[in-house]
Amino acid sequence: MEPDLLIRTEGRAGRLTLNRPKALNALTHEICLETTAALERWRDDPTVSLVILDGAGERAFCSGGDIAQVTAAGKQGDYAMGRDFWRDEYRMNRLLATYPKPIVSFLHGFVMGGGVGYGCHIPHRVVGETTQMAMPECGIGMIPDVGGTYLLGRAPGQLGLYLALTAARMGPGDAIHAGFANRFLPEAEWDATKAALCETGDLDALPVRHTPESPMAAEQSRIDRLFGQPTMPAIIAALEGDDSPLARSALKAIRRNSPLSMACTLAMLRPAPLTLEEALKQEYRWTWRSMEHGDFIEGVRAQILDKDRNPTWKHPAPGAVTEAEVAAMLAPLGADELTF
């Protein structure tokens, strides 16, 4: 049986390929630990000049974290499994972001949640025609994590909040406009480009191609107006007063989401975290509490396990979430704080 993560060196490159195509390359705890170990091994290896990240299969680079096992444990009152997974995943996210050697990710198909954390904090992020990138966490009673609040906070205008609250999917042009990626390359050229990177160990092997148009950039002024409101009820009221397809679609998504997750996401992006470390620490405070005090277990049940799409959230509407409840989810963890 093939491993879930293919780890090897080819020429001048260290290569990490997510290898769970039937599970859309969803991240496991073991994959995060193996990625960290490989990167630490290659850090001082003079034969490795750069690292390439990609995913097996045609459908996804990485669709997110594999959370079924974490949820099953949480339902039994065992929160340690999830907390351990998130702690090690977030440490891996930071290692990827601060790695001293160049890393290049090839982000095809679905790139969501944990996949964003795996491939989008590095300097060279390549998207292609099939790229569909999103942060859908509020729909499963979560918040955008894996450093997602850092990326969302740096997106133009109110685009980050729009992406966080609606799980809107970014094509290649949108991903580049939002700052989640920085290079478009037709996927027909990917194999030859990877081979050239392995052979030379030189980033000059990355071609420069024309960036596709971004539909979200064309809607930026509308997004800024609708999502620039101070509270969730005010955002919803603005959307209800706008008859555009974007507003209708956003409103439909927001009405499905966890009210607590959205209120906390709004607080986490205003103000946005200034550094990736700050973002990860704040996200960990939330995810550490997510199973015991949040909507996470119910959201995963409704959307992923039972698939009845009918979650019973802790709050009936966004306006029912108090500032004190948000503050409690984001309060420091004392001895359990995330450290690097």
Mind listing the domains of the chain with CATH numbers? 5-336 (3.90.226.10)
Choosing from 54, 66, 89, 145, the catalytic residue is 145
Residue 304: per-residue pLDDT: 86
**pLDDT at position 142:** 97
Is residue 114 part of the annotated active site? The answer reads yes
Q: Where are the beta strands (DSSP E) in 203-275?
A: none
3-class SS of residue 58: coil
pLDDT at 69 (0 to 100): 84
Q: Which of the following is catalytic: 66, 137, 277, 295? A: 137
Residues 6+ apart with CB under 8 A from 209: 183, 184, 185, 186, 189
Long-range Cβ contacts of 3-9 (<8 Å, 24+ apart): 4/28, 4/30, 4/31, 5/30, 5/31, 5/34, 5/35, 6/56, 7/34, 7/38, 9/42, 9/47, 9/48
pLDDT score, position 15: 98
- Active-site hit among 114, 115, 141, 171: 114
pLDDT value of position 228: 98
Query: In DSSP terms, which residues pair with 16 in a beta bridge?
Result: 7, 53
**β partners of residue 107:** 127
* Catalytic one of 14, 65, 109, 171: 65
Would you write out the chain's pLDDT as a tens digit for each of its 340 residues?
899 999 999 999 999 999 999 999 999 999 999 999 999 999 999 999 999 999 999 999 999 999 888 998 999 999 999 999 999 999 999 999 999 999 999 999 999 999 999 999 999 999 999 999 999 999 999 999 999 999 999 999 999 999 999 999 999 999 999 999 999 999 999 999 999 999 999 999 999 999 999 999 999 999 999 999 999 999 999 999 999 999 999 999 999 999 999 999 999 999 999 999 999 999 999 999 999 999 999 999 998 888 999 999 999 999 999 999 999 999 999 999 999 9
Is 65 labeled as catalytic in the residue annotation? yes
Contact 141, 258 (CB under 8 A): yes
DSSP-assigned beta bridge partners for residue 7: 16
